[in-house]
Every structure is written in C-alpha cells, then in structure tokens.
Amino acid sequence: MLTPSEFHQLVSGRRKGFRATCLRSVLAGAELPYIVTVRWRNRRYDRNAALVHNVGVPVVSVGNLTLGGTGKTPMVAWIARFLRNQGVRVTLISRGYGAEAGSRNDEAVELEYKLPDVPHLQDPDRVGAAAIAVEELGCQMILLDDAFQHRRIHRDLDVVLIDALEPFGFEHVFPRGTLREPLSGLRRAHAVVLTRADMIDPDQRTAVRARVARLAPHAPWAEVIHAPQELLAAGGKTEPLDHLRGRPVAAFCGIGNPAGFRHTLDSCGYNVVAFREFPDHHRYDRNDVEQLRQWGHDTAADAVLCTAKDLVKIGLDCLGPLPLYALTIGIEFLNGQQELEAQLTTLTQTVPPDDPIT
C-alpha cells in the first residue's frame, strides 16, 4: 500500500521508471468511470432542486477540490471564531470520516479544544445532523466541514480551499490524480482561498489566481499562510516555538499532506533528524506508540513533534524519555480577509428577526 508521499510521487509523475508508468496507466483507466459518476451526480443536483435541503438557517461550507489536507481545520476554526465574535450561535457539522462508531474523529477532538463554545455534530447524514442543530441546539448558523462535494444541503457560502503545493490535483481526478471532481466544479464556489501561499513564489500565486478566475470568475480570492503558533503537550502545557529551534527533533504525522507539515517544521528552524508518515486519520494503537518510543530513542532527538490531530489521539506528554509536542497551527491572511469577512457578515444579518443574535 502506498503512503501519501508515495502516492503523490506516483501521480505527479516524479516517480520514474517502467513500473511507475504502468501504474499510472492503470490508474488512468480507473479515472474515467470516476469522472462519469461524479458528473452524473452533480448534474442530478444541478437539475433537481428538490434534492437539496434548505435547513432554515444560513449555511457556510468549507471544502476543497483535492484529496488530503488543504488546511480546512484552521480555516474552519477561524470562521467559527469570527461568527462567535459576531454573537452568532454556530454549530459545526461534519461527516466524521475516520471515526469509529460512537466516537469522534481527530478533527472533532482538535476543534473541541480550539472551540469549546461551538457544538460539533458528526454524522454521515448531515441533513439529519443539521435538523438536530436547528431544532434542539437552537443554532443560528451552520458551518459544514469538508462539504464542497456534499450537495444535499443548500449552502449560502461555499468557501473552497486550494493548496498552493498542489492546486489542481496534478490535472487528474482520483485515482490518477488528487482531484475529487473535475476542475469545472469550481464554478460553484462563492469564495476561493489559496492555502500555504507562502510556499510558492508570487508569480506562481498569480498564475494560480488567474486560472481560478477563469473557472470561478465571480468568487472573491484570498491567500493565507499556515502560521505555527506554539508547542502543545497533551496535558495542556505549552512552550514557545523557539524552545526547540536548532535542536534535533524527530517528527511524525498521520495527515493527508505530510509534505506541508515537514515544510512547516523546517520553517521553524528545527533540525528534523527523522520523519515518519502514517496514513491519513491513522488511529494509533499500543503497538504504534511502542514503535514510536523506540524510534524516537534511536534517533537521538531531543523531542518528538507531531500535529495536533495526532496528539489528541495519542494523548501522552512523552514517548519514553522524550517530550512529545504538537506544533499548533493558525492561519494568517496575506490578502482577501476583508472580502471574506464581508461575505460572512452579510450572512449574520440574515438571521431571522424573531431569533436575534445574542
């Protein structure tokens, strides 16, 4: 089974050789039926408004065109905090991908830590979850996480994230590339945000923006960076970023974009002496933890780093004698913040007058 990095090496064309070429051909053969299925599904929703449920309150969706991590969790947290600061009772709804029955996935646990005053419902039936949010929780606005391809709920604002490192999915739909649907689907976007914008140069950002403008000419554009904030231990203890600067660290992650995490570690000035990848949404068991303890010891590192999503699942302050920290991430806007805030503010003004914002 391919790791996320191996899969990206293959579909991007960076992996060379006869075997790689054959594998790409096999994946290309599976791409066409996937495209046909996605287009047929989208056409059904485009042509039949009865399939789309209006849940009675404004709905904001955060999603993307590609597989893997584009920075949805930091963006969801930013939007939720903006709405709460406006006095809006917002409920977050997600499918709960990767969660076992009756439990929450890693994003839910991380967001609960960041947003203790925002209810989070996880249910594959997001229409049913929305009804609970409105009728039982009295929410005034719903925030859908990872929902651009979820067409059953009407949304008033579709925010689509594009990863600067992989903006157009290597020009192919899964499994030949990383697009979840053809690029033409971007026309449904109400706002487009380029994430990790600092990882490409200004000319490249301009080129991406120009192409997006052709696909979604009416969608405002924003650019954000994923800014490291602090080092967080499972018990809640924090350290400043420079606590480990220049020192040898081992790092691991189980996310959709391990390259982005590695780049962030390098940008902090850490000496990453070993790096290990797990599958996206990996559920760490006792054997994994024991292996990580031994691995960390063998690297002669001063500490072990991971993402917040990994830390909430492991729940330990140390791996053997080595301290374990998550590198917490927030977003900072390079441009487009005012335009996105204006769109959100417009929605807050649509809250029914008989249920005022409190």
272 and 340, same domain (yes or no): no
Residues 6+ apart with CB under 8 A from 345: 86
Alpha-carbon Rg for the chain, nearest whole angstrom, is 21
- The mean pLDDT of 114-140, rounded to a whole number, is 93
263 and 282, same domain (yes or no): yes
233 and 318, same domain (yes or no): yes
pLDDT at 357: 46
Distance, in Å, from the CA atom of 98 to the CA atom of 255, rounded to the nearest integer, reads 11
- The mean pLDDT of 75-102, rounded to a whole number, is 85
3 state SS of 206 = helix
- The mean pLDDT of 167-174, rounded to a whole number, is 94
111 domain residue, yes or no: yes
135 and 157, same domain (yes or no): yes
315 domain residue, yes or no: yes
Count of domains observed in the chain:
2
Within 13 Å, how many C-alpha atoms sit on residue 69's CB side? 22
User: Rounded to two decimals, what is the model's pTM?
Assistant: 0.84
146 domain residue, yes or no: yes
Element (H, E) at 291: helix 286-299
Sort 32 into a burial class: Cβ within 10 Å, 0-12 / 13-18 / 19+: exposed
Q: Provide DSSP, 30-64.
A: HHHHHHHHHHHHHHHHHH-GGGSBP-SS-EEEEEE
Here the CATH number for the domain that contains residue 238 is 3.40.50
pLDDT at 356: 45
292 domain residue, yes or no: yes
Give percent above pLDDT 90 in the chain.
Answer: 77
66 domain residue, yes or no: yes
122 and 261, same domain (yes or no): no
326-352 per-position pLDDT tens digit: 999 889 999 999 999 999 999 999 876
129 and 275, same domain (yes or no): no
75 and 216, same domain (yes or no): yes
17 domain residue, yes or no: no
161 domain residue, yes or no: yes
Distance, in Å, from the CA atom of 352 to the CA atom of 140, rounded to the nearest integer, reads 8
Reference 111, options 132, 127, 96; nearest CA is 96
Here the CATH number for the domain that contains residue 192 is 3.40.50.300
Query: Phi, psi (5° rounding) for residue 210?
Result: -65, -40
184 and 106, same domain (yes or no): yes
177 and 310, same domain (yes or no): no
33 domain residue, yes or no: no
Lowest mean pLDDT segment, chosen from 38-47, 110-119, 233-242, 335-344: 110-119
255-266 per-position pLDDT tens digit: 877 888 898 899
104 and 236, same domain (yes or no): no
- The mean pLDDT of 62-81, rounded to a whole number, is 90
Quickly tell me which residue has 């996105």 as its tokens. 340
Higher model confidence: residue 223 or residue 98? 223
pLDDT at 303: 96
- The mean pLDDT of 186-214, rounded to a whole number, is 96
Give me the domain span that covers residue 190.
49-220+336-348
3 state SS of 318 = strand
Distance, in Å, from the CA atom of 285 to the CA atom of 192, rounded to the nearest integer, reads 37
pLDDT at 103: 54
195 and 252, same domain (yes or no): no
109 and 209, same domain (yes or no): yes
Question: How does 312-332 read in b/e, with b if 16+ C-beta sit within 10 Å?
Answer: bbbebebbeebbbbbbbbbbe
